[in-house]
Amino acid sequence: MSSHDDWVRFVSIPVAAVAVAGQVQAAQYLTVQQAQKLMFGKSATFQRNDLVLDSKAMRAIREASGVRVERSKQPLWEVREGDQLNGYFIVDEVYGKHEYITYAVALGPDGRVRQIEILVYRESYGYEIRNPAWRAQFIGKKHGDPVTLDEDIKNISGATMSCRHISEGVKRLLATYEEMLHPG
Amino acid sequence: MRKCYTRVRRARPLLGTLVEISLAGQAERELHEAANAAFAEIARIHELMSVHSMESDVYRMNNAPVGRAVLVDERTWQVLDLAAEISHASNGVFDVTVGAAMMARGDLPRMVNNLPGGNATYRNIELLSEFRVRLQCAMAIDLGGIAKGYAVDSAVRVLREGGVPEGCVNAGGDLRAFGDEALTVQVRDPLDPAIACAEVDLCDCALATSAGYASSKGYNTSGVVLDPRANTEVGTGCSASVRAASCAVADALAKCALILGEKSAPLLRRFQANGFLVHDKMPIVIDTVPVDARAGPAARDGITQVDVGFANRQSDIMFGKCTGALL
């Protein structure tokens, strides 16, 4: 009967796993290169060709998607298999009240979503996430920096994280494709 | 000599949340391929059981003419079968027909042609042979209280079949660990999601938490939990966590434990589950120690047989070893 009372320990500790300027629970899942390989295969070639959005494009994307466009530069790679265009690899970021997520979207050459992978997830309960300077400290750390973001990550049960912000981000990216890349 | 394997961690947005798969014990490439297959299975279950999608089995059942048998996927049928079992055992504390009340309140989108009245219960769902389902009256089924756990179980089955020795699948807090190593899971305080109020060690089993999280902290919640017997909302600031062999069972029983509180003990016992409640920062372990634990082997065997029989059946469903025999 021992399993009946010693299976749970009641504690009161922050869920933060690492201390990066405030309470942060963070997980690095994939680097950009890993995600590219996983989503398009080893023989694909990637040419970085970031989209630069002027204010007119930003407005059009916002109107088409109903989602605010905050950045004028969208990291994007054209993906080729031999000399055939095989799609696009886009890295994007979204943040909610407590979570800040970097994710990658694979689009087919027709602009359809093929796959979504989370690259880095961070959550924090201060005011930090609303603060661009706070978010800026992570820039560069998604390219496989030896930052120990993925050490000692806790598995957490409890409040369900909504993926609403990712859904909105993908909607915005599809509108971006239509505005900037869709032929004709 | 200590083997040194990479641990692979992946996450995708699925089931309305972030699903994380963490694997170890094989070469990195194999682990990534296994994770891809597991994500694909979860995505398929999402498509079949989403109340938001017009392509789903759930939508087709809810919008079929009353009394007409609807052919559904084997997986949807299995979830309904397990849901019926838990509904019977809990006397309706768990009831997938709660969807109508959720839609009426605006907690779910109205994905039905006509919003049904609130008279239907789980007893009005007939599970027929060959994966057909007949609804005896207008209703709105919502599998939100069990499908996430089922998806976790299915992902674990795919991973094991793919030869992965150990890992964990976590669908927004409903999670299951497999393999030899114990996994420590933190449970969020329902009043303060930044704080862990409990730690649970999982070894080859699942943990699910159901809660009314305090909205003052602004955390995204998956929505309210309704008591299907009266369609009343379960208060915020409490949570119930249930540990069971399968995540589908843990998922559904966590809702029951949130509604019933300590009175859920016999129900949990019946499914060989453990649980605890957290209310106003006060943790309470649900006492699932069999009352007759000291009453001699005869009485104990009586209960154990029921429980073990059920547990075996569940694992058969989850691991697909003899699903045919169930029909």
Q: How far is B138 from chain A (nearest CA, A)?
A: 30
Number of domains in chain A: 1
- pLDDT tens for residues B160-176? 999 999 999 999 889 99
d(CA B253, CA B249): 6
User: Does B50 contact chain A (CB < 8 Å)?
Assistant: no
Is the pLDDT score of B312 beyond 80? no
B20–chain A Cβ distance below 8 A for any pair: yes
Residues of A with Cβ-Cβ distance to B209 under 8 angstroms: 157-158
Q: What pLDDT band is residue B118 in, cutting at 50, 70 and 90?
A: confident
Instruction: Grade residue B154 by pLDDT with cuts at 50, 70 and 90.
Output: very high
pLDDT at residue A163 in the model: 81
Query: Mutation test of the interface with chain B: which of A8, A92, A105, A157, choosing the one with the most B Cβ atoms within 10 A?
Result: A157
Please state which of the ranges B118-122, B192-196, B219-223 shows the lowest mean pLDDT: B219-223
Q: Return all residues near A54 (Cβ < 8 A) that are at least 6 apart.
A: A72
Query: Model confidence over B69-106: pLDDT tens digits?
Result: 999 999 999 999 999 999 999 999 999 999 888 888 88
Examine the pLDDT at A80 and tell me if it is beyond 80: yes
- Asked if residue A53 is part of any domain, the answer here is yes
**Average pLDDT, rounded, for chain B:** 83
Average pLDDT over residues A13-25: 55
pLDDT of residue A130: 73
pLDDT of A151 higher than 90: no
Residue B114 to residues B64, B138, B140, B222, B281, Cα–Cα distance (Å): 11, 9, 10, 24, 42
CA distance B265 to chain A (A): 12
Which of B21, B120, B303, B83 has its CA nearest to residue A38? Answer: B21
pLDDT of residue B181: 82
Tell me how close the Cα of A128 comes to any Cα of chain B, in angstroms.
14
pLDDT at B306: 28
Looking at residue B127, its pLDDT comes to: 98
In this complex, do B220 and A159 lie within 8 Å of one another by their Cβ atoms? yes
Q: How far is B327 from chain A (nearest CA, A)?
A: 34
Please report the pLDDT score of residue B172 as a whole number.
87
List the domain range (segments joined by +) for residue A95. 29-134
pLDDT at A75: 96
CB contact under 8 A, A9 and B32: no
Q: Which CATH class is domain B57-135?
A: mainly alpha
Helix B247-260 / helix B147-161 crossing angle, nearest 10 deg? 160
Contact at CB, A159 and B175, closer than 8 angstroms: no
- Minimal Cα distance from B21: which residue of A? A29
Q: How far apart are CA B253 and CA B264, in angstroms?
A: 9
H or E stretch at A2: none
Residue of A97, A118, A129, A160 to mutate when probing chain B, most B C-beta within 10 A: A160
B103-120 average pLDDT score: 84
Q: Three-state SS for A123?
A: strand
- pLDDT over 90 at B243, yes or no: yes
Instruction: List the 86-125 stretch of B: residues with Cβ below 8 A of A.
Output: none
- The predicted structure's pLDDT at residue A148: 41
Q: Closest Cα of chain A to B288: distance in Å?
A: 7
Query: Is B36 touching A (CB cutoff 8 A)?
Result: yes
Look up tokens 């930044």; give the residue: B194
The more confident residue out of A174 and B221 is: A174
What is the ipTM metric for this complex?
0.84
What is the rounded CA–CA span in Å between residue B226 and residue B96? Answer: 11
Give the 3-state secondary structure of residue B175.
strand
Q: Judging by DSSP bridges, how do beta strands A99-107 and A84-95 pair with one another?
A: antiparallel
Question: Which tops the pLDDT comparison, B289 or B104?
Answer: B104
Smallest Cβ distance to B219: which of A7, A98, A150?
Answer: A98
- For B186, which of A28, A117, A156 is closest by C-beta distance? A156
pLDDT band, residue B209 (cuts 50/70/90)? very high
Query: Do B188 and A98 make contact, defined as CB atoms within 8 angstroms?
Result: no
Q: What is the CATH number of domain B1-51+146-181?
A: 3.10.520.10
pLDDT in tens, A98-118: 888 999 999 999 999 999 999
